[in-house]
A and B are shown apart, each in its own frame.
Chain A
Amino acid sequence: MKVSLNWINELARTTLSAGEVAERLTMTSSEVDGWSDLLTIDERIVSARVLSVQPHPNAERLRLVTVSYGSREHLRVVCGAPNVEVGAYVVLALPGARVHGRGGWQLLKEGEIRGVASKGMLCSLAEVGLPSSGEGIFCFPAPVPVGKPLAHLLGSDTVLEVAITANRPDLLGHVGLARELAAAVRKPWKEPTVPPVPAFVGGTAPTIRVESPGVASVHTAHLSLTKRGVTPLRILARLQAAGIRAIHPVVDVLNYVMLEYGQPLHAYDATRFGSQLTIATLKEPVTFLGLNGQSYELAAGDLVSTNVRGEIGDIVGILGSQEHAVHEGTSEILLKVGTFPAATLRRTGRRLGLRTDALARFEKFLPTGLAHIAFRRALELLQEICGAELCGPTAHYTGQEGAGGMVSLTFHQAEQLLGAAPSPAETRTILERLGFAIVRMTKSGLTVRPPYWRRDIALPEDLIEELARIWGYERIPSDLPVGPLAAPTAGTPYDQWHLVRRGLARSGIRECIFHPFASAAELKLFGLDAPALLQPLSSELAHLAPSNLIRLVLDTARVEPQATAGAWFCSGGVFPEGIEERTVAILIRDADPVHAVRLLNRAVAGVVRSLGYRLDMSPYSSQPAFLEPGEAVQYRAGERVIGFGGRAVTSLTPKARNAPETLLAELSLDALASLPVRAVAIDPVLDAPSHTRDLTYAWDAPASTILEQLEAVPTPPGVRRSIALVATYTASEAATLTFRVQFTPMREPISETHLAAWMRQFPKPLS
């Protein structure tokens, strides 16, 4: 929310700088995101008085105006505005002043207009950068000292950007924020006084019919405007600070009261709308033309106001109708101020894509008591500025609202929850300054009645928060919990996940993270299915990803279209068939397919080994559609299936010439986590040499099958045996695999005789 520094200083009776206000509000109440000085008006733009008005000799629509802008200074300007009158107090730009014209900001020069010299310019507010309503030049509503820079008459101001949390609708106006500021700087607070509704005898009061539950209050007044009025500069300055356009004195006043108290108000042109108001939820859809000129499709359930003829006057709390809006010729208005169901308004606003200043406040559950105060304040200002007079008594509707109860707190409770707390006397002062009425206070605690604007206070904890923030969180000492240490649990899924990540990185693979979404086309490319989101951010992110491989493969290819050798992995939750599963996906690109496979399987075996298991592999015939049939492998560890791998189908491999091979694997982290924690078993090693022998076979079956046959040969007692692939040979006529068998003695040295006997047990190798 945009907050005028002058305004809150005035209300809180403080003289704080923007920095001081920002620091205090941030540390006790609402975060100030920043501040900036309002656009400064050029010093050469001054107040002046019109002395004479004469016709222009060469142009019918121009006039020669002589103004005084100091005790002796007079000058003559050529002016085209229709509203220049002798005696008026106006805004004069002197040569060299920065003014806003059709072509943006420019420096004013002395010049000749249709043959007559013009030494300055009479300005509208728009021409000096202020919010502007009406046509022609600006005329002050009351006499002002002449020759004073406009900037001085307005007072320069700073605008703070304050973030108001959802629980504090009372801070959506300057009065509420000033109240917080006063409490924060420990100054007594005095509520601004608002006169009561003027008494009116006789006449007809407007009628209010409420046909919707949830409307907590409505106040209306039928007013006749005895003068058009001019929005005073002090109000314009504050509208400007809030970034609100000036529109019409009535609308400006209502906007001003909204900024002051946080309560939005609405006025209908009473001659068009009438004074009989019905507030009801729509029964059927209808098209509505808003005062912004846009048309909206309202739906059943939207809250609207209607008149006797059933015409819609406004989407309550959101937007008025064009037909019944206040306009230049408005002579009577129907003022409406109320408290409306936040949820209904919010749903309507969201559906229509409307975010008005009024809705932003209503949807935060405004305190009901606020409406009547804002109503009286508006009557006061409308009377002052537009000469508004009641046409009859005012009308009021009060719906059902649970009365806020009292809240009790013991001083011990506060200290127990915070670790330290203000003294009872301080506690009382803090709560009083925030508007709480102290109903009872004893040695051990107090009972308070929250003010009407604090419906968020219901529990002792709520009161403790009030104390803590105003007293200052920085005054609460820091401490560490003391207690018995719990035995740490080893091998949790979290630990396993990080073991896997580290294992893959140690294998030389780089980790990336992705957002687990995919488009329908991407799913199709992988031949996978996954649930769609109801409201995706875009069609690119329309589905949850069913596999970590989708983003890994496609995004790496996008970043490196000229794919070169490399290895990547990513991990996290994915959603095959809507069931959440945690996996890790691995992508290896290498010019040599055999090398790629061996890199991949070394990485997978490393992961499995770090968990205390040995990797088992077998050909995988029911492979996913994105792997080449007959070139997929199933991974197992500890008798459990833990994942699969294989060669990517050509549609997924980079198109570049000489592009490397793409090998993919996906392991289930959930399956790995289900393996009982196990330490790697270490065999004893005898201080005697190990022996190795190589065996070469024709590569006429999957390597894992051949290896399985070798592994099936019983290991002789007393030795540790390992079998590893050491070479592959591929030629057009034949391909071979060479395995190295190593025997390590555990009990006694190995003799040549034994070794020869053991080797004879293996299938006969190629010579």
Chain B
Amino acid sequence: MKDQALSTQLTQLVEEASKAWAAASTVDVQDQVRATYLGKSGRLAEFTARFQNSSAEQKRSIGGALATAKEQLRALMTLQRQRLPLDVTLPGYDQPEGALSPVLEMMDELVRTMQRLGFSVAGGPEIVRDSENFTALNLGPDHPARDEHDSFYLDEHRLLRTQMTTADVGAITAELTAGRVPVRLVLPGRVFRREADTTHAPAFHQLDAVYLGDDATFSQLKGVLEYLVQQTFGKDVMVRFRPHHFPFTEPSAEIDLSWGVHEDGSPRWLELGGCGMLHPHVVERTGANPQVLRGWAFGLGIERPVLVRHGIDSLKRFTHPDRRYLDQFAL
């Protein structure tokens, strides 16, 4: 075989392969083309086999060209493979990824902020004695404020707790016993009231926080609540404290946060919960001396701010396991 002929054949082979590659429009065809030319028994391998039988002189003159052609085709066919057109604006997969309840997530968000302020999580049972739920919190048997706590009783003395504050006294006592003063606790949980209408559910969530120390002031209560609200709802949100009455705090206030504005530009207030300085009688029931230790506490409702934050139309949504709603809270 003449050098000339071999060399031409090789050039032709490279040209042919390049054309075939250029014409290949799918990955499958590209794979075929690659196999045809670069495969173990492909055209190039066949050419090399023939070349092996040629003289040393031929090998010398063509060897370099053959190596270059191999290199060239390999590079072409590897590079081009990555260059297939790709629409990078394709939407992501539309599979639900698992979702978390916005109510429990809001509660956890509030808990974590309180933890950053050095508060530890505590809790208590949902079934309590009426002495814990009422009497310990200055709500005697005939206290008119008991009307606001229409409750689910299991028997004469046991009921489902109507507020997280019920857990406060026991939790504070445990901290005092362990010598952890000042007491800083956050108590998230579920509470129950015997009512069900468009704005009330028989079970809902609250988060209480309590502080007991020799330095407790209403100023601190304001500061902590403002920090918590702004961490959760944004720096632009205003907090206001409005006088109110709770038998277990004195002075007491309700907490509103500004949420949007009225037509006249004045802020629209959303009631978030209640707060105040722990009543000396309640402090006494924790085992502390109210002459020495003072405390403050607040309790926030969870569901209502979730409704407002996400623009959810009804409390009923929370307990309605409709995937079209739940999946909007996907991870």
B-binding residues in A (CB < 8 A): 26-31, 165-168, 342-343, 346, 363-365, 416-420, 459, 461-462, 464-465, 468-469, 473-474, 476-483, 485-486, 488-489, 492-495, 498, 501-502, 504-517, 531, 533-537, 541, 544, 552, 555-556, 559-560, 566-568, 572-573, 575, 578, 580
| List of B residues within 8 angstroms of A531 by Cβ | 154
| C-alpha spacing A239/B330, complex, angstroms | 55
Residue B97 lies at the interface, judged by CB distance under 8 Å to chain A: yes
Q: Is the CB of A483 within 8 A of B217?
A: no
| List of B residues within 8 angstroms of A30 by Cβ | 243
| C-alpha spacing A514/B5, complex, angstroms | 85
| List of A residues within 8 angstroms of B108 by Cβ | 498
Q: Is the CB of A568 within 8 A of B321?
A: yes
**What are 14 pairs between A and B in contact, CB < 8 Å?**
A416-B294, A417-B217, A473-B242, A476-B219, A481-B184, A481-B211, A483-B215, A492-B120, A505-B97, A508-B98, A510-B329, A512-B321, A517-B202, A541-B202
Q: Is the CB of A483 within 8 A of B118?
A: yes
Q: Is the CB of B251 within 8 A of A342?
A: no
| C-alpha spacing A511/B327, complex, angstroms | 9
| C-alpha spacing A482/B120, complex, angstroms | 16
> Known: A473-B242, A511-B101, A513-B103. Contact between A343 and B142, CB under 8 A?
yes
| List of A residues within 8 angstroms of B244 by Cβ | 31, 165
Q: Is the CB of A494 within 8 A of B118?
A: no
User: Which of B13-21, B25-33, B52-60, B221-229 sits within the interface?
Assistant: B221-229
Q: Is the CB of B123 within 8 A of A559?
A: no
| C-alpha spacing A417/B104, complex, angstroms | 34
Q: Is the CB of B98 within 8 A of A506?
A: yes
Number of A-B contacts (CB under 8 A): 221
User: Which of B40-48, B71-79, B188-196 sits within the interface?
Assistant: B188-196
Partner of A510, one of B98, B127, B190: B98
| C-alpha spacing A417/B244, complex, angstroms | 17
The residue in chain A whose Cβ has the minimal distance to the Cβ of B151 is A535
Q: Is the CB of A511 within 8 A of B117?
A: no
Residue B260 lies at the interface, judged by CB distance under 8 Å to chain A: no
| C-alpha spacing A342/B140, complex, angstroms | 13
Q: Is the CB of B319 within 8 A of A28?
A: no
| C-alpha spacing A160/B104, complex, angstroms | 37
Give the total of B residues in contact with A, Cβ under 8 Å: 83
Q: Is the CB of B319 within 8 A of A513?
A: yes
Residue B293 lies at the interface, judged by CB distance under 8 Å to chain A: no
| List of A residues within 8 angstroms of B98 by Cβ | 504-511, 567
Q: A480-B223, A483-B182 are in contact. List 19 more A-B contacts (CB 8 A).
A: A28-B243, A29-B243, A31-B244, A342-B142, A343-B142, A417-B251, A473-B222, A473-B243, A476-B222, A481-B216, A492-B120, A505-B331, A510-B329, A511-B101, A512-B101, A517-B203, A533-B154, A534-B153, A559-B320
- With both chains docked as a complex, state the minimum distance between the C-beta of A566 and any C-beta of chain B, in angstroms: 6
Residue B85 lies at the interface, judged by CB distance under 8 Å to chain A: no
Q: Is the CB of A486 within 8 A of B180?
A: yes
Chain B residues 206-235 with CB under 8 Å of chain A are 211, 213, 215-220, 222-224, 226-227
| List of A residues within 8 angstroms of B195 by Cβ | 537
- With both chains docked as a complex, state the minimum distance between the C-beta of B101 and any C-beta of chain A, in angstroms: 5
| List of A residues within 8 angstroms of B312 by Cβ | none
> Known: A468-B218, A556-B321. Contact between A494 and B121, CB under 8 A?
yes
| C-alpha spacing A498/B107, complex, angstroms | 11
The residue in chain B whose Cβ has the minimal distance to the Cβ of A420 is B219
- With both chains docked as a complex, state the minimum distance between the C-beta of B325 and any C-beta of chain A, in angstroms: 9
The residue in chain B whose Cβ has the minimal distance to the Cβ of A461 is B250
Q: Is the CB of A559 within 8 A of B196?
A: no
The residue in chain B whose Cβ has the minimal distance to the Cβ of A26 is B242
| List of A residues within 8 angstroms of B141 by Cβ | 343
Q: Is the CB of B123 within 8 A of A494?
A: yes
Q: Is the CB of B152 within 8 A of A535?
A: yes
Q: Is the CB of A486 within 8 A of B321?
A: no
Q: Is the CB of A537 within 8 A of B224?
A: no
| C-alpha spacing A387/B71, complex, angstroms | 124
Q: Is the CB of B224 within 8 A of A419?
A: no
Q: Is the CB of A516 within 8 A of B203?
A: yes
Residue B65 lies at the interface, judged by CB distance under 8 Å to chain A: no
Q: Is the CB of A511 within 8 A of B104?
A: yes
Q: Is the CB of A464 within 8 A of B226?
A: no
| C-alpha spacing A29/B101, complex, angstroms | 37
> Known: A461-B251, A512-B326, A537-B194. Contact between A474 and B241, CB under 8 A?
yes
- With both chains docked as a complex, state the minimum distance between the C-beta of A572 and any C-beta of chain B, in angstroms: 6
Q: Is the CB of B219 within 8 A of A27?
A: no
> Known: A417-B218, A507-B98, A578-B154. Contact between A515 and B226, CB under 8 A?
no
Q: Is the CB of A461 within 8 A of B242?
A: no
Q: Is the CB of B223 within 8 A of A534?
A: no
Q: Is the CB of A552 within 8 A of B220?
A: no
Determine which residue in B250, B319, B321 has the highest number of CB atoms from chain A within 10 A of its CB, and name it: B321
Partner of A486, one of B127, B184, B245: B184
The residue in chain B whose Cβ has the minimal distance to the Cβ of A164 is B245
Q: Is the CB of B250 within 8 A of A465?
A: yes
Q: Is the CB of A555 within 8 A of B144?
A: no
| C-alpha spacing A469/B196, complex, angstroms | 33
| C-alpha spacing A305/B38, complex, angstroms | 113
